[in-house]
Amino acid sequence: MLAIQKVSSMDAPEVLVVLPTLGDRLDTLRLTLDSVMQQQSELGLTLVVVAPPSAVEAREMARSLGAVIVDDPKTGISAAINCGLAARTVEKYYAWVGDDDLFRPQGLSTLRTVIESRENTVLAFGGCDYIDPEGRTITVSNAGRLATILLPWGPDLIPHPGTLIRLDALEAIGGFDPELKYAMDLDAFLKLRKHGRFAWTRRSVSAFRWHPDSLTVANRLGSSREAELVKRRHLPAALRPISGAWHRPIRWASAFAANRINARARAL
C-alpha cells in the first residue's frame, strides 16, 4: 500500500469511496474517476482504488488524482472491497463504484442528506440509471420502498453503486463475505437490517454501465443461484425448505428483465 493521500478539499473526509479495478478499462475508468472528483464540491471524501500491481496505467491515473492505492489480493471482489475498507481513517460512510460506473452530480451529497434525515439510519440508496457502453440511458432503477420490502425474498433492487452505508455498521457485520462472488452486497444489506433503518430517494444518484454481450447465461444463472443461497440462509429455518417455490419464478423474472434491457441496449 502506498502512503495515504486524501482526495478531498476538506480536513475531515466523510465518505470512503472504494473503487476496485483490474486496470483493463482505462477509458471508462477515467470517466468514473471524473465523476468521483465532481462530488468534492459538496462533501469531503477519500478515494481508495484497489488494483493489482500490474495495472500500472490505472494506478498512475488514480494516483495523479490523489487516490489511496491498495494492492488487490486477487482473491475475489469481496476481498478487494474489504481491503479498500481497511484504508478507513476518519470517514463515516462507505460508497462503492465500479470502474465503468458513474456517480451523478451531487449523488453522494444527496445520499448523505437522506441517511442523516432519519434517526438510526444505516443505509441510504437512490435511483440508478442503466446506461449503455456509450453512456446513453437504457432504463432507470428507482424502486424506493419496494426495494426494502422485496430484499429478503425477491430480487435485490438496491443498487450497490447508488448506496451509502455507515462504516461503523458495515464494520460491525464484518464487511463483505469473501466467499461470495455475485451477491456479496445482498448479503451485507440483509445483515445491516439488524443494525438500523434503510432510507431512499428516487432521484438518480449513480449510473451502472450495462454490457449486453458480457452478461452470459452462465453468469446470470450463477448470480441467481448465489443470491438464492444468501436469501435462504437469512430466512427463518421453517421457511428455508420451501423457498424454492418463489426463488425459481424470481430467477425467471430476473432473466426476462435482463433480456429486455439487452434488447433496449441493442436498439440504441
pLDDT tens-digit map of 78-100: 999 999 999 999 999 999 999 99
Q: pLDDT tens for residues 27-86?
A: 999 999 999 999 998 899 999 999 999 999 999 999 999 999 999 999 999 999 999 999
State residue 186's pLDDT score: 95
Residue 137 φ/ψ, nearest 5 degrees: -75, 125
| DSSP for residue 141 | E
pLDDT value at 240 more than 90:
no
Q: Which three cell numbers stand for residue 161?
A: 453503486
Domain 15-211: which CATH number of 3.40.50.1100, 1.10.150.120, 3.40.50.2000, 3.90.550.10? 3.90.550.10
pTM for this predicted structure: 0.86
Q: What is the DSSP string of 12-78?
A: S--EEEEEE--S--HHHHHHHHHHHHHGGGTS-EEEEEEE-TT-HHHHHHHHTTT-EEEE--SS-HH
- pLDDT for 12: 86
pLDDT digits (tens, 9 = 90+) for 156-175: 899 999 999 999 999 999 99
Q: What are the DSSP E strand ranges found in the chain?
A: 15-20, 45-51, 68-71, 93-96, 102-103, 121-131, 137-141, 163-166, 197-209
For 196-219, how does the pLDDT look when each residue is reduced to its tens digit (9 = 90+)?
A: 999 999 999 999 998 765 544 447
The pLDDT of residue 3 is above 90: no
Q: Residue 155 — very low, low, confident or very high, per pLDDT cuts 50/70/90? A: confident
Banded pLDDT at 268 (limits 50, 70, 90) = low
